[in-house]
Amino acid sequence: MSSTTPSAIVPGLTMGRANLDEFGATLLALGQERPDLRVVTSDSRGSGKLVPYGKTLPSQIVEVGIAEQNLVGIAAGLAAAGKAVFAVSPACFLTARALEQIKNDICYSDHPVKLIGISAGVSYGALGSTHHSLHDFAVLRAIHNLAVIAPADNWETCAALHAALDYPHPVYLRFGKRPMPNLHAPNSHFVIGQAITVAEPDSDAAVDVTWIATGETVAPAYQAADRLAQAGLTSRVISMHTVKPLDIAALLQAARRTRVLLTVEEHSVHGGLGGACAEFLLQNGVYLPFQIVAIPDEYTMTGSQQEIFDHYGITAQGLAERAQRLLYAATPTTV
């Protein structure tokens, strides 16, 4: 990847704060600018980084306690009354316990509530599968009228919140807990439904490997691209921050200009980003070596997020090895 835009994960990387910290600070700034903004939370002020918001804007926050179904219903009511509403709760509970309310009260009624799933994926890793959120992309992709977004770094987080605020339909935003690298240049452009290519060769020639990742897996995909560069292999890295609506134009262009394609996500191997990409490519007659890197269909191990990533190979080394195996399998051999 020597001819590729330098990765922010190689030497020279700057680290930002956790996306949830960026979320809390951005939401406070938006609330100060918008008196119509309301935050509804289910006992998540601390974990959702909402304590400063509540202290500064006490009349603009509603606490419902551990009652996620009520959280969504109240958020829908506030939105129906003309408020700009952010409903904040752990992703594992918001998208399971309150799924019927999301489907009917929010999406069926087209109330532009911003559903914020905090500590998503395996951020609550040590608490076990009850607190893992590895189903949310799949179930929410199946509900009409709902954008699904997983920011990859602080810049995407801030930009996504600003974009979501005035988005005229419901939005689900998913955040993890750990500090994030700064992957984007300050002049980057964010639009819901438009992927961002964060690293690619300078030439228009086809690359060896294309990575399409979302959320906290964009960083290890970046790292894997750097490792492949040391082996003389070129990579393209795309942050598909919007899982729905999928940027099919970017996906199609990338698939036609690469030897192999891998999707990476902190989600079940079923029904998430990889499934969405595979569905589109196959139905549009695009066939290439393709692999979904995600959490396999098994009882998920317990441990820290990094330990779980290590176990399932969602790391620079693990991803680079997968890509090399896929390239090897796709390379014709002669006897």
Residue 45 in this model has a pLDDT that exceeds 90? yes
Confidence of residue 132 (pLDDT cuts 50, 70, 90): very high
Angle between helix 316-330 and helix 218-230 axes, rounded to 10 deg: 60
Residue 2 in this model has a pLDDT that exceeds 70? no
Least-confidence region, from 13-17, 54-58, 123-127, 237-241: 13-17
Omega prior to 245 cis, within 30 of 0:
yes
pLDDT of residue 215: 97
pLDDT of residue 334: 46
Residue 8 in this model has a pLDDT that exceeds 70? no
Do 15-181 and 196-326 share a fold? yes
Confidence of residue 188 (pLDDT cuts 50, 70, 90): confident
Write down the domain spans for the chain.
15-181, 196-326
Task: Give the Cα separation of 124 and 211 in Å (integer).
Answer: 26
Domain 15-181: CATH superfamily is Thiamin diphosphate (ThDP)-binding fold, Pyr/PP domains (3.40.50.970)
Task: Give the Cα separation of 19 and 81 in Å (integer).
Answer: 30
Please state, rounded to an integer, the average pLDDT across all residues of the chain. Answer: 92
**What are 161-175's pLDDT values in tens digits?**
999 999 999 999 999
Pairing of strands 207-213, 235-239: parallel
Of 126, 107, 124, 123, the closest CA to residue 115 belongs to 107
In the CATH scheme, what is the code of domain 196-326? Answer: 3.40.50.920
pLDDT of residue 272: 98
- Mean pLDDT to the nearest integer, 70-75: 98
Task: Give the Cα separation of 273 and 191 in Å (integer).
Answer: 18
- Mean pLDDT to the nearest integer, 298-315: 91
Q: What is the pTM of this model?
A: 0.93
pLDDT of residue 13: 58
